A and B are shown apart, each in its own frame.
Chain A
Amino acid sequence: MSSSVLYDVPGPRTRLRFRVYGVVSVIGIAALLAFVVYKFNDTGQFQAGLWDDYEYSNTQQRIVDGLLTTLKTFALAALFSLALGAVLASGRLSDHRPVRVVSSLVVEFFRAMPLLIMIFLLYYAIFTTSPMWAVVIGLTLYNGSVQAEIFRAGIKAVSKGQSEAGYAIGLRKTQLMVHVLIPQAVRSMLPSIISQLVVTLKDTSLGFIILFHELLFVGKSFAEQTPPVGGVYAFIPMVIVFGSIYIVMCLTLSSLATWIERRTRRSKKGTPPPLDTPATLMADPGHTVEFEPRDGRPEDPKAL
């Protein structure tokens, strides 16, 4: 704590004051939790009977099926979006103006559209019978555009001397890309790419709205369609089971990103500094982020 911007190392009196604040806030948080628990108990959310459904192997099978569907959708969307991202990024880095303009337009358009609206369009217009492909293609178009921006920013972040040196020894553009720029860029991009994959994983749940039978859809049907016990729907078990599945999946992926970032930071073999892009900053809806690697700003490793 001593290196905090906000306060000095506390003295004895301040430490006492902090301890008082600590006690007060613990009481506050405990009171909040107690209120929630009391209310849930009051409305009968804690009845043991609500968990009965989850004991049937039939039910468990449905959860596994839902999980597999989600993972399959995610795998397809991740694969396609990386491929599309590569194509669009090389389009944006092209030497030919028309190619650049077209791929910029595509990237900007799909990044600006709400993903759900894209999925609606695909579902109603093309994939009326297979919601999975509507979700996969929607995710691919959106995340592919975001990945393209990440790739482009990564390539641009490699220092200019590298490409100048490559051209000087007579490499062609393709050779330069393959042998010089991409190997260096991939290291700095990996955390951003994986963060965007976490977003892709979370967004597979949008299929829920077009009644695609993925994990969350299964969860909702448990919470609402199973006969209520004592007039109460099994809401808490649903949140505990399905929420934790999602959180575990996303945390696994994003801790992979953090691990890779820490590794690249440690090895000093001439790697460019990790991109300080909003996508690494927050593993979110990365969405319309402008990628300008900001210079010279001390990066906080804990920001992830």
Chain B
Amino acid sequence: MNVLLDNFAAFREGFWGTVELTGLSTLLALVLGTLIAAFRVSPVPALRIFGATWVTLLRNTPLVLLFLVVTLGLPALGLKGWDSFWLAVMALGCYTSAFICEAVRSGINTVPVGQAEAARSVGMTFTQTLGNVVLPQAVRTAIPPIGSLIIALAKNSAIASGFNVVELGSVMKTLNSAAGYNIYVIFFWIALCYLIITFAVSGLFRLLEHKLAVPR
């Protein structure tokens, strides 16, 4: 108990660090992932190739390597002055966007072709078909995998502790080097913090799933 009470400020800072990191990267990943998914199902070959390359490259790269690419690559691009937090958001967001893209795309692909054909045959335009028929069904399929991807993202955010970002993983490291605490006790509290975050995310998604559920 002492570990938590003595270092409550550090824990709070680390907890919010992880929450902010997860939240902002999720936002980036959702926006980017949806965009890339749109590229991958578009009728334009160049965009499809771009999307496929993006997904293949990012899915097969270890996240740590991506962190290195972002932290060393952006300064090399002449874009200096980003602090490590935003670099971590970028790495996590881009990495997860590849998986979100696949979830969204397979959501779209599971909508039966007959649905869209029926919509078009009653005279709906492309926008109407997409907005009223295809997307509402695709979203329902895509939500559970996106939920587990976001939980994975929250857990992956621990990697940012290796790149000078203050979050739960780095709290664990600093408390361990500040000798005198039992490492298992530190681990217990850190583990509890992560469990709070992952349970919150999965609860949120279960709620969302319930809200959207329709008999099909």
Contacts and interface: CB of A to CB of B under 8 A. Distances in A.
Contact of B148 (A43, A247, A287, A297): A287
Contacts of A114: 154-158, 169, 194
Nearest to A206: B64
B152 interface: yes
A107 interface: no
Contacts of B128: none
A117 to B, nearest CB: 6
B148 A223 contact: no
Contacts of A290: 144, 148
Contacts of A115: 155, 158
Contacts of A232: 76
A45 B46 contact: no
A197 to B, nearest CB: 13
A25 B152 contact: no
Given A1-B43, A25-B46, A117-B158, A281 B103 contact: yes
Interface string B68-104: 1100110011100000000000000000000100110
Contacts of B73: 235, 239
Interface residues of B, number: 71
A178 interface: no
A43 B103 contact: no
Nearest to A3: B113
A202 to B, nearest CB: 4
Contact of A287 (B41, B50, B152): B152
Contact of B134 (A5, A116, A198, A281): A5
B64 to A, nearest CB: 4
Counting chain A CB atoms within 10 Å of each CB, the highest count among B65, B156, B159, B191 belongs to B65
B108 to A, nearest CB: 6
A7 interface: yes
Given A42-B78, A117-B187, A243-B65, A209 B162 contact: yes
A36 interface: yes
A125 B113 CA distance: 56
A120 B41 contact: no
Nearest to A8: B120
A251 B127 CA distance: 37
Interface in A47-79: none
Contacts of A116: 158-159, 161-162, 169
B7 interface: no
Contacts of A278: 144-145, 148
Interface string A208-219: 110000001001
B2 interface: no
Interface residues of A, number: 71
A246 B68 CA distance: 14
A22 B109 contact: no
Contact of B41 (A4, A26, A121, A125): A4
Interface string A128-151: 000000000000000000000000
Given A18-B43, A288-B198, A290-B148, A247 B57 contact: yes
Contacts of B102: 281-282, 303
A101 interface: no
B126 interface: yes
Contacts of A95: none
Contacts of B59: 250, 282-284
B44 A22 contact: yes
B183 A121 contact: yes
Interface string B43-70: 1111100100000110111111100110
Interface in B106-124: 106, 108-113, 115-116, 120
17 contacts: A8-B120, A25-B47, A25-B50, A39-B76, A40-B77, A116-B158, A117-B194, A121-B187, A125-B187, A202-B61, A219-B68, A233-B72, A281-B103, A284-B149, A287-B148, A297-B110, A300-B110
Interface of B: 41-47, 50, 56-57, 59-65, 68-69, 72-73, 76-78, 99, 102-103, 105-106, 108-113, 115-116, 120, 126, 129-130, 134, 141, 144-145, 148-149, 151-152, 154-159, 161-162, 168-169, 172-173, 176, 183-184, 187, 190-191, 194-195, 198, 202
Interface of A: 1, 3-8, 10, 18, 21-22, 25-26, 29, 36, 39-40, 42-43, 45, 112-117, 120-121, 124-125, 198, 202-206, 208-209, 216, 219-220, 223, 232-233, 235-236, 238-239, 242-243, 246-247, 250-251, 254, 278, 281-290, 297-298, 300, 302-303
